[in-house]
Structure 1
Amino acid sequence: MFTSDTAKYKIIGICTSCVQSDYVRDIVSSISRKGVKEGYKVLLFNTFCDLYHNISYNHGEASIFDLINYDILDVLIIMPEAIKRDSISNEISKRAHEHGVPVICVDSTMDNCCSVTFNYSDVFEKIVRHVIEFHGCRRVNFIAGVKGNTFSEERIEAYKKVLAENGIEFEPERLGYGDFWDMPTKGVLEKFLESDLEFPQAIICANDAMAIAACSILRERGIKVPEDVIVTGFDGIELEQYNSPRLTTAAVDNDVLGEKIINAIDHMMNGVPLPEKIEVSYTMRISQSCGCKKIDPREVGDKILELYHRMNNSDGH
């Protein structure tokens, strides 16, 4: 807590990377809005690139975390999935504990920390069920993320589980790894299109970025979504709203996320220990790319105008 001549301030620190990205910005904004509303001050310690690569530039960026004044913090929030270097996240957490500052870890787990986790698997399974059981698709391809990645492997297992429960044999040729981004996804789509297997009725993607890339590549080939093939995503990224068709996907309610974190901090300030885990659920968003909602051509023009105005505003800032 920081004490001035006239007031006392409860202080929350947030350590992250890439606050300019949709994912990080939305989480930080949610916590900050709710925190400020409840009388907290928020200090943000951010690097503008993730720290995955062990290079001199990243060492320089990471020095921002050396400026943390733990003596005035009431709680510290760390986002290891954004920072992408466990040694740095662990060092920040270690210093916080040495100063008696409790730590909340968002979207990951760390020793001696309250972990905020997202329930991905249940809602991803719902998306797969929607495609297979509601739309009746039997030939379903899957574009996973990075091979061996926990989130990616969980989504593959959900895909295989629903296939098995519906009497559909898993065909390895219908699975590809798009590494969670667009360029590898293009290679996966090319393999799907060149395969001797019958063309899929649906392509389920482990995240929105790959689903958007898949829609673009299919459009270039004259294949319509959802008329010729259903495509689904996951994560609910901001770019999805500019895609036509809008994706059937899932997203976390960031307002609920911020509220749960600040409520836990409030209880801690009143003598209740932080819980070991705070779970936040994702919500399925049924939309146009599976055919459940009609595509309105006017939406495309509206979204282009909106994007144009945002670009102008960005240039102005």
Structure 2
Amino acid sequence: MILRSKPVMASVFNLLQEYIMENKRRCIAVITSEVCEVYQSLLLEGIKKQAAENNFNVAVFATYFSQRLDSPLNEIGENNIFNLINYDLFDGFIVVPNCVAAENVLDRITQKLLKANKPVVFIDKENEYFTSVCSNDYNSFKNIVNHLIRDHGLTRINCLTGFKGMNLSEARLQGYIDALRENNIPVEENRYDYGDFWRVAAVSFVEKMFTCGLELPQAVVCANDTMAIAVCREIFKRGLNVPEDIAVTGFDRIMEGRLHHPSISSVYPAMSEIGKKAVEVLYDAMSGKEVEKNYLIDGEFFPSESCGCAGDSVQSLRDEMDRYNQYVEHSQYFTNSIYMYENLQESSNIDELFIGAANYRHLLNDIDTFHIFLCDNWDELNEKKSLFKKNKESLGYSKRVTTKFSENGSFLTGDLGSFNSEYMFPPIFDNNLSPNMYFFFPVNFQDITFGYVVCTCTENSVTPDAICRNWIKYLSNALEHLRSNQHLKWVLKRLERISEIDSLTGVYNRTGYENRIYKVFESARDQDKDFLIIMGDLDCLKKINDNYGHAEGDNAIRIIAKAIQNSFTEDEAVARIGGDEFIMFGAGSFDEEKLKEYPDRINDYLDHYNENSSKPYIIAISLGIYCKKVSENSELKEWLDKADENMYVNKKGKIKVFQKEQ
């Protein structure tokens, strides 16, 4: 049953936010990503169990992917969920640093944690400031190699570990090396290499194994089951068998590895125990007890068919197959419902969109309660805003958020009241509810932030699955489709022809600039208004092109265009009039304080981008501003010359010129 908003809902969160500080349950925050993956799911399972025993709530702030190399903007948008965290309201924190790929994001989180001065536990990575609880990957991997040597008599053993520099990758590699040395087996550098925890590295590793000139190995140890499965397939392609010709082992003991033929010998990491231990450490720290700096938890090795040992029992495999079939059936059901996104695209307004989304709520079998909150003015549908302007909240979350979808036994859609976003989701602090784990996911399109989702799982599930992730992404894409469509209608009214737009940046090109600037100038003269020009020149474009390629130069040009657009307050226009040259102009009333805001907004945007981007270069701009009233005898050339002159003063390192003549 789908209900529209009721007046009684409007103040529920406002009442809660006043109440929680007086009757607050202890709550810990977990910072991670990809919660549906085995590693994270097992960890969160342990955290949830131990937190319930300690009467804690858990708030999990998670991105969908740990790293988006294919989309830096999406990575920025997803990482924005971490900016929602109010560090003052939580009693402790658990951070999974291997799941936060962007070092600058992790550094900012670390600084906020230090400022909060609350108990903190880092998972699987030691930290100079905080306690860590780590999987003993070194011992576990060493045990695998010792098993191959001592139980199977193998001496030529190759190793494919994970990403170079990652703690667990290096620990597993060192365990391999030390096991060989302890058994007096020479360590040959050509027999081990770094991988990517995925199939791609496994394919190239096996190719090298067969072509490097060394005698083929008797065994290959892999840093995870996914790579081990891929290694097996590559060995089969070359006419050899596993384990008869080459034994293969993995790590993580995932479902696909257990069902593979032959079943993969693997280590079951003690992630659930690590999660429990992390909460125990936080509890002790909150209670004033002294805790150790680092804790190590051993995993359990399960030898199986791929190394020549016996596999799992028939009953165990049947149970695993039943779970797998249930997942496949559910996934297929979702696949058959991919029309969700198409149907949501037909929505003409935000209320229709969320009513449509409620019709697909049944796909989220593992979800118990589900809430969607949008930032104020998430869509920026205002005809005074500029062409293609993105949501200003892409740099954070608005001060207040509105509940647009709430499902807790029944559906409610519409404007269900708003509350201060600093409280995130007030019920997580409610002492009258049973302890639970709440998941916070971003609702974003690339670096545009629309809002966030908060959900809980059913008793039979620990974490939301990939279907929930896809559901939210479909919703996010539909929101962007709605937002873009509204903007497009406005754009079509304003553009005289498509040739006026610069294809790289989406702002006006020289043709559009020339067609418009004279009209705006004459309008200022007729209406006795100020006329403003801001000239901008991208700094060091040639150096960026020469050192990083023209694709990166194009990226810098696009970011400058976005930064200038972000500074708009009236009906200004921006054009790219040369390779690295921009001009912004408009008519209106501009006092000196307002003029100073333009470069501040532009530079703030660039500072935020440079801080959050993984690019190796800094994007900066030199600006020149000129503004005054247009008299009857005024000529546009005066504004162009003065702004250009001021820009070059700025470029030479002098103080910015903010000039307003009467």
TM-score (norm 2): 0.44
Asked if 1:68 is matched to 2:85, the reply is yes
Give the structure 2 partner of residue 141 of structure 1: 158
1:150, distance to aligned residue in structure 2 (A): 4.3
1:309, distance to aligned residue in structure 2 (A): 2.0
1:232, distance to aligned residue in structure 2 (A): 0.9
Count residues in correspondence. Answer: 316
1:294, distance to aligned residue in structure 2 (A): 4.7
Q: Which residue identity lines up with residue 20 of structure 1 in the other structure?
A: C
Select which of 42, 54, 64 maps to 2:58.
Answer: 42
| SS in structure 2 of the partner of residue 71 of structure 1 | coil
Q: Which residue identity lines up with residue 9 of structure 1 in the other structure?
A: R
Mean CA deviation greater in 100-109 or 49-58: 49-58
1:261, distance to aligned residue in structure 2 (A): 1.7
Contact 2:120–2:131 (8 Å) recurs in 1: yes
Asked if 1:55 is matched to 2:72, the reply is yes
Structure having the higher Rg: 2
1:131, distance to aligned residue in structure 2 (A): 0.5
Give the structure 1 partner of residue 30 of structure 2: 14
Give the structure 2 partner of residue 27 of structure 1: 43
| SS in structure 1 of the partner of residue 121 of structure 2 | strand
Q: Relative to 1, partners in 2 of residues 1:106 and 1:189: Cα closer, same or farther, differing over 3 Å?
A: same
Contact 2:120–2:282 (8 Å) recurs in 1: no
Q: Which residue identity lines up with residue 157 of structure 1 in the other structure?
A: Q
Q: Relative to 1, partners in 2 of residues 1:56 and 1:265: Cα closer, same or farther, differing over 3 Å?
A: same
Mean CA deviation greater in 270-279 or 283-292: 270-279
Contact 1:177–1:185 (8 Å) recurs in 2: no
Q: Relative to 1, partners in 2 of residues 1:170 and 1:52: Cα closer, same or farther, differing over 3 Å?
A: same
1:130-279 residue pairs with structure 2 within 5 A? 130-279=147-296
Q: Which residue identity lines up with residue 33 of structure 1 in the other structure?
A: K
Q: Relative to 1, partners in 2 of residues 1:102 and 1:249: Cα closer, same or farther, differing over 3 Å?
A: same
Q: Which residue identity lines up with residue 45 of structure 1 in the other structure?
A: F
**Aligned residues: percent identity?**
30
Q: Please list every run of 5 or more consecutive structure 1 residues that lacks an aligned counterpart in the other structure.
A: none
Give the structure 1 partner of residue 579 of structure 2: none
Mean CA deviation greater in 162-171 or 27-36: 162-171
| SS in structure 1 of the partner of residue 295 of structure 2 | strand
Contact 2:258–2:317 (8 Å) recurs in 1: no
Q: Relative to 1, partners in 2 of residues 1:312 and 1:141: Cα closer, same or farther, differing over 3 Å?
A: same
Contact 1:22–1:238 (8 Å) recurs in 2: no
Q: Please list every run of 5 or more consecutive structure 2 residues that lacks an aligned counterpart in the other structure.
A: 1-16, 335-362, 365-662
Give the structure 1 partner of residue 618 of structure 2: none
Mean CA deviation greater in 191-200 or 268-277: 191-200
| SS in structure 2 of the partner of residue 284 of structure 1 | strand
Q: Distance in 1 between matches of 2:224 and 2:240?
A: 20
Give the structure 2 partner of residue 312 of structure 1: 329
Q: Which residue identity lines up with residue 114 of structure 2 in the other structure?
A: H
Q: Which residue identity lines up with residue 301 of structure 2 in the other structure?
A: M
Select which of 117, 121, 140 maps to 1:104.
Answer: 121
1:149, distance to aligned residue in structure 2 (A): 4.4
Q: Distance in 1 between matches of 2:313 and 2:208?
A: 31
Mean CA deviation greater in 193-202 or 79-88: 193-202
1:172, distance to aligned residue in structure 2 (A): 3.7
Task: Render the CA deviation track for 1:253-301: whole Å, top value 9, x for unaligned.
Answer: 2332232122222222322144322222222222221112158899878
| SS in structure 2 of the partner of residue 69 of structure 1 | coil
Mean CA deviation greater in 215-224 or 33-42: 215-224
